[in-house]
Amino acid sequence: MKTPFVKMNGSGNDFVIFDGRAGNGFSLVPQEIRAIASRDNEVTGGCDQVIVLENDDHADVFMRIYNADGGQVNACGNATRCVAGIMEFELQRLPVSIRTNAGLLHGVEKAYTEEGHEYILVNMGEAHFKAEQIPLAVSVAEAAEKIEALTGLKHPQFVSMGNPHVVFFLRFNPGDTTARDESPLFNLEFEKIGPLLEKNREIFPEGVNVSIALLRAASDGLGYIINARVWERGAGLTQACGTAACAMMAAAHERDSSITRAHIWFEPFGTVVTTQVEPNGHILLGGRIEEEFKGTVDV
């Protein structure tokens, strides 16, 4: 059956989005998801995640999220931003509410990139740091020991943004505006470390998103810059990951509570998202979104 979709991206993190709210029981099986997400798919061009919009009794929409490998996941920040844009256009109002398996999220207000591109700032809720909230299969201390033995990386910070993250700050210089050398991000065999940790069920029973990062103060005095590489669970090295950006913001704030705002640069792609911690601990996520094209696909 020919089914319409819209292809969108949030800061380069791209999605094929289906509207399943017509009540016809629209659903996808893993084989279909993998085919839709394949970069060899001549119709969709492939994607990082496949999104299905569904009706919800207590929110404006329910967002079901599938990774490119066919598995369903609970959270995706950049997809939430794209769906917030869809709902704001459809309903002609803000805020809009979006329910996911991780909970209720909100598109709260309009904002603009430096180039003048409009987007919706999304409230991604609070970060969580306890072992059972990530979840970890072992204690935080034991997980850190196992990770160091496997990868040589020290001082992991474990964060849940509705999905599991581990963050490594290779450099953390909140008082320095001049440290612009990104080479530490590329001195590691990240393409090996990422999947090694993602798939290690002895530490992460549900897998994990892996971020390596460098933090410095912004030269304009407005917050901080975090340069990062991210291995996204089920998708691999990513141009941008919204929940990873939030996890890095949360990890930085946990280390230094004065850090409440940061631009996250995803290397080597040069894509950027914005993050900030509100006084209530909620994390706001922003950045450019765009509709690439619409089409139909056989599913």
β-pairing, 157-160 vs 164-173, is: antiparallel
Q: Which entry of 47, 82, 241, 246 is annotated as an active-site residue?
A: 241
- Which residue has 């993250």 as its token pair? 165
Q: 3-state DSSP call for residue 212?
A: strand
Question: Where do the DSSP E strands lie in 88-208?
Answer: 96-100, 103-112, 118-126, 157-160, 164-173
φ/ψ of residue 287, rounded to 5: 145, 170
Q: Which entry of 47, 76, 82, 246 is annotated as an active-site residue?
A: 76
φ/ψ of residue 269, rounded to 5: -85, -25
**Alpha-carbon span 131 to 281, nearest angstrom:** 19
Q: 3-state DSSP call for residue 15?
A: strand
**Alpha-carbon span 59 to 41, nearest angstrom:** 33
Could you tell me which residues are beta bridge partners of residue 133? none
User: Would you give the end-to-end CA distance of the chain in angstroms?
Assistant: 6
Radius of gyration of the chain (CA): 18
Find how far residue 129's CA is from the centre of its chain: 17
**Alpha-carbon span 204 to 62, nearest angstrom:** 27
**Does the active-site annotation cover 246?**
no
Amino acid at 41: N
Residue 201 makes CB contacts below 8 A (sequence gap 6+) with 137, 207
Contact indicator for 23, 55 with CB cutoff of 8 Å: yes
**Does the active-site annotation cover 47?**
no
Q: Is 216 exposed, middle or buried (0-12, 13-18, 19+ CB in 10 A)?
A: buried
Residues serving a catalytic function are 76, 241
